[in-house]
Structure 1
Amino acid sequence: MISIIIFAVLLLVGFGFFAMNANKIRANILMGRDVDRSDNKGERLKVMTLIALGQKKMFKRPIPAILHLCLYVAFVITQIELIEIIADGLSGEHRLFRSSLGGFYTFMISFIEVLSVLAFVATFLFLARRNLLKIPRFNMKEMKGWPKVDGNLILVMELILITFIFMMNGADEVLYAQGLSHAENLGDQSLGFAISQYVGPALFGGMSESSLIMVERIGWWGHILMVFTFLNYLPFSKHFHIILAFPNTYFSNLNPQGKATNMEAVMKEVKLMMDPDADPYAMPEEGEGEAEVQRFGAKDVEDLSWKNLLDAYTCTECGRCTSNCPANRTGKLLSPRKIMMDTRDRLEEKGAGLRKNGKDYDDGKSLLNDYITEEELWACTSCNACVEACPVNIDPLSIITDMRRYLVMEESKVPTELAGMISNIENNGAPWQFSPEDRLNWRDEE
């Protein structure tokens, strides 16, 4: 009875703390401007299924894709075993589903064990890729400090979790074969799990009954405690993408890449200017003038859309965007991954300040300049390589574009090279420095 109470308390605290932190992230995301992504539900479900569930874009790099698939499938399928552990913990039973599921139960746990072995191997290889092979995208400036620790820590936690699984199953195999397990009198003389039936006797076969029970209990409690630890670590880690990849891909921008977005207020003014029948002195319609004045472009996180902020929390920090960025590859300061990491860091800072000090909180800082420099923004060629490369459909270019829009429309800050081009377009209708009537002179040259 005491163990049931302890388990129930851990369960409530674990899921309660996760829900609290997840709600903070939700509140942070909703700080962004509204954008409508409720259209084409069928197409959105298709994109989510292919990209988030099927990991379609990951397979552009087959080796890491296969390794990641091992971890991903193991993570998803092992939730079945987690359901049983929770049911056992709340009921005081052991392997509650085995008697009713019979052979299917043995098959499912065996399948989970095979996946766990594959995940164990993949985890070691991922650790080697991050720390021994020195892959450039894992060793860039923005990956120093906590991002590197975070990437390694989650892999170490995965190894510990898998170790606990085999401690639990392996010791239980030996106990069951001796008629000493909690799960005795349920049929065969062995649990018959694919891996544990060999690993268990090899590692624990010579132990006493009390030692075996201790190993099994350490594995069982260690497994569930690691699950709770992992769950509550996610909101503070890049690995929150495990959950957010699904809504993020569902709310993807379905427009063709390269299609520019225009501000509604600006478009309205331009249309009025181009309409010969429009009255420039007409009073606005009722309620029209009461709308809140929107900033042109983005200076801070609240000027971005909620989808931009969801992107920031979904970023896996894999670096595929940066490794495919032509500006970064030619030595320029821009790193699309850093853009997303900076946006998330600023959003966390701003959200914490607002919760502590109220909605009028202003720390005198902003995403622009305090986190992301103008040099980074203007290095972008708007080629969409980062958007195409991202395995979960994150759009760094949208953030870059909005911040450049702010620099141009609010602060009149443009690089010298662009200033001349903009002036020529305004005066000559073309980027070149000659009058419109001279634009076709090349055609008449011999």
Structure 2
Amino acid sequence: MEYLPNIVFAIILFAGIGYFARNVNRLRRNIKLGRDVDVSDNTSLRWKNMARIALGQTKMVVRPIAGLLHIIVYAGFIIINIEVLEIIIDGLLGTHRVFGSLGTLYDVLIAAFEVLALLVIVSVTIFWVRRNILRLRRFVKPEMKGWPKKDGNMILYIEFVLMVLFLTMNGADYQLQQLGADHYTQAGAFPVSQYIAPLFEGMSISSLVVIERTAWWLHIAGILFFLNYLYYSKHLHILLAFPNTYYGRTKPKGQFKNLDAVTEEVKLMLDPSADPFAAPAEDAAEPEKFGASDVMDLTWVQLLNAYTCTECGRCTDECPANQTGKKLSPRKIMMDTRDRLEQVGKNIEANKGKFVEDNNQLLDNYITREELWACTTCNACVQACPVSIDPLSIIMDMRQYLVMEQSAAPTDLNNMMGNIENNGAPWPFNQMDRLNWANEE
């Protein structure tokens, strides 16, 4: 019975990590459904982008208040995880504050954890007020109703409770240390929780041990729950922001990719010795599908983008189409892509590793044509994203499918392309008349 708590802890720990590993495998499988793309270029720039954007949070502080609060929560998440390492060792070995032998360094670390925990509590409270009382415009868009709103609040509640449990655990521990309780050696500095400790005055040592142990168990169980909740939450970006910024776009934002098939056609037209009516070689590869109508037509980087989306709404807030009342929301494009990808993943699981046609696709069933054609291709959404997500690339690939596979461009666009083909300009005027304006008085 002496080792029962350690056994129970080990079971909970390995079950939590095992379930997390299962979710990571599902995530990898879904992302790998995308087409392959070469992202081996500009390695040094990619590392710099990851260090600057994901680690350094440089794009978050463009909006100073939200940026500062996010940095506090981010730092709290990273640094307090050092404390989680101690909890895991203590839980497995039956020790208590195993790093206490570090002396002054340990005191400094625990003090820093406590100050950060308090700052995180303040920050998530402000975030909750911004979402639910001030109701900032980007948090009340149509796509943020239902689960996305609940998810945003759920994360704030979890972070708040975890920090309160941490400080409660330390406050009871501090009081037990003052009473000289067995197993509670003098270790750590408690600049915040020492002010919680007076709430426990007059309690017996056994009662304090129950409070400290309960907070300890709930804290580590809450962390494991949070770890496994990430897969179902927008907070998956905590893990994916680093690879996403590494694999993010390195070319100029206004530079669109060329289609090899179209390039070859143009070269053929410009080659006077080529026979434009010649049949393709027998071993020629079958032409690839132009553009994208479903998630499997997108690249794996675009699918990684979808899972990394933080749903912060900065992209939609900057979108001129959205600002003028159009249906387009770049955030919704990413959320829809992720939702469709999840649907495809569940289809594969239900059919023993094979996708079975479900009469759904990203185009029309999730993203409407009206949304796609509302985009001005200004790249404001790409510039605004704090984790290097590129909604425009998905919009352009789906437009390409509509134009080149379905000939379903809007009438105005068809007229423009016809004018370019016939007149060398988007306007319906003969080339011979292009300079007539110069003769007008």
Normalising by structure 1, report the TM-score.
0.95
Match status 1:371 vs 2:366:
yes
1:40 counterpart residue number: 42
Deviations 1:275-302 (A, max 9, x none): 3344557776796x24x54211100000
Query: Which aligned pairs between 1:167-316 and structure 2 lie closer than 5 A?
Result: 167-184=168-185, 191-200=188-197, 202-278=198-274, 280=276, 289-290=284-285, 293-316=287-310
* Residues 254-313 of structure 1, C-alpha deviations (whole Å, 9 max, x = no match): 0111111122222222222223344557776796x24x5421110000001111111100
Of 403, 408, 411, 1:408 maps to: 403
Tell me, in whole angstroms, the C-alpha distance in 2 between the residues paired with 1:91 and 1:267: 65
Is 2:37–2:299's contact at 8 Å kept on the other side of the alignment?
A: yes
- For 1:390, the equivalent position in structure 2 comes to 385
CA contact (8 A) 1:424 1:431 kept: yes
1:59 aligns with 2:61: yes
Q: Give 1:22 deviation, angstroms.
A: 1.4
CA-CA distance at 1:360 after TM superposition: 4.5
Structure 2 distance, partners of 1:359, 1:142, is 30
Distance 2:96 2:260 in 1: 61
CA distance in 1, matches of 2:430, 2:342: 51
Shift in alpha-carbon separation, 1:31–1:293, aligned structure 2, 3 A: farther
Question: Equivalent residue for 1:31?
Answer: 33
Q: Does the alignment pair 1:143 with 2:140?
A: no
- Answer whether contact 1:107 1:193 (CA < 8 A) is retained: no
From 407, 428, 433, give the equivalent of 1:438: 433
Deviation at 1:351, TM superposition (A): 1.3
Assess if the C-alpha contact under 8 Å between 2:106 and 2:188 holds in 1.
no
- Is the counterpart of residue 163 in structure 1 residue 160 in structure 2? no
Structure 2 residue identity aligned to 1:294:
E
Question: C-alpha distance in 2, partners of 1:286/1:149?
Answer: 56
In 2, distance between residues paired with 1:243 and 1:22? Answer: 11
Moved more, 204-213 or 398-407: 204-213
TM superposition shift of 1:134? 1.3
1:353 counterpart residue number: 347
Conservation of the 8 A alpha-carbon contact between 1:84 and 1:95: yes
Q: Distance in 2 between matches of 1:191 and 1:32?
A: 49
**8 Å CA contact retained: 2:55, 2:242:** yes
Alpha-carbon distance in 2 for matches of 1:375, 1:181: 69
Stretches of structure 2 that go unaligned for 5 or more consecutive residues are none
Q: 1:55 corresponds to which letter in structure 2?
A: Q
Distance 1:345 1:181, change over 3 A: farther
CA distance in 2, matches of 1:342, 1:252: 20
Contact 1:191 1:197 in 2 (8 A): no
Q: CA deviation at 1:199?
A: 2.2
Q: Hey, what's the Cα distance between the residues in 1 that align with 2:182 and 2:170?
A: 11
1:92 and 1:419 map into 2 onto residues whose CA distance is 73
Deviations 1:370-393 (A, max 9, x none): 001000000000000000111101
Q: What residue identity is the alignment partner of 1:10?
A: I
Which segment is superposed worse, 323-332 or 273-282? 273-282
**Offset of residue 412 of structure 1:** 0.6
Length-normalised TM-score, structure 2: 0.96
- Find the aligned partners of 1:344 and 1:420 in 2 and give their Cα distance: 34
Task: Give CA deviations for 1:156-184 in whole Å, capped at 9, x if unaligned.
Answer: 01111011101211101010111105232
How many angstroms apart in 2 are the aligned matches of 1:47 and 1:217?
A: 43
- State yes or no: 1:8 paired with 2:10: yes
User: Any runs of at least 4 consecutive aligned residues in structure 1 with deviations exceeding 6 A, and if so which?
Assistant: 281-286
Task: Show CA shifts across 1:109-146 (max 9, x none).
Answer: 11011011000000111111110001111011000000
Provide the alpha-carbon RMSD of the alignment: 1.5
Identity %: 57
| Structure 1 counterpart of 2:357, one-letter code | D
Which secondary structure state, in structure 2, belongs to the residue aligned with residue 56 of structure 1? coil
Equivalent residues of 2:328, 2:374 under 8 A apart: yes
Which SS does the other structure have where 2:98 is aligned? coil
Q: 1:429 maps to what in 2?
A: 424
Q: Structure 1 residues 441, 259: closer, same or farther in 2, change over 3 A?
A: same
Letter in 1 for 2:80: T
2 CA distance for matches of 1:54 and 1:181? 43
2:76 to 74, 77, 82: 74
Question: Is the contact made by 1:44 and 1:251 (CA closer than 8 Å) also made in structure 2?
Answer: yes
* Paired residue total: 438
Partner of 1:105: 106
CA offsets 1:301-326 (integer angstroms, 9 cap, x no match): 00011111111000000000001000
Structure 1 residue identity aligned to 2:381: C
CA distance in 2, matches of 1:74, 1:330: 38
Per-residue CA distance 1:336-381 (angstroms, 9 max, x = gap): 0000000000000011102222434110111000001000000000
The answer to whether the 8 A contact 1:176-1:191 is kept is no
1:13 & 1:293 partners in 2: Cα distance? 47
Question: What are the superposed Cα offsets for residues 65-88 of structure 1, whole Å, 9 maximum, x if unpaired?
Answer: 111111000000011001111111
In the alignment, the residues of structure 2 paired with residue 182 and residue 124 of structure 1 have an alpha-carbon distance, to the nearest angstrom, of 35
Residue 92 (structure 1) aligned with residue 94 (structure 2): yes
Contact 2:117-2:167 at 8 Å conserved across structures: no
Q: CA deviation at 1:98?
A: 0.8
Cα distance in 1 for residues equivalent to 2:19 and 2:236: 15
- Please tell me whether residue 320 in structure 1 is matched to residue 318 in structure 2: no
Which letter does structure 1 place at the counterpart of 2:323? R
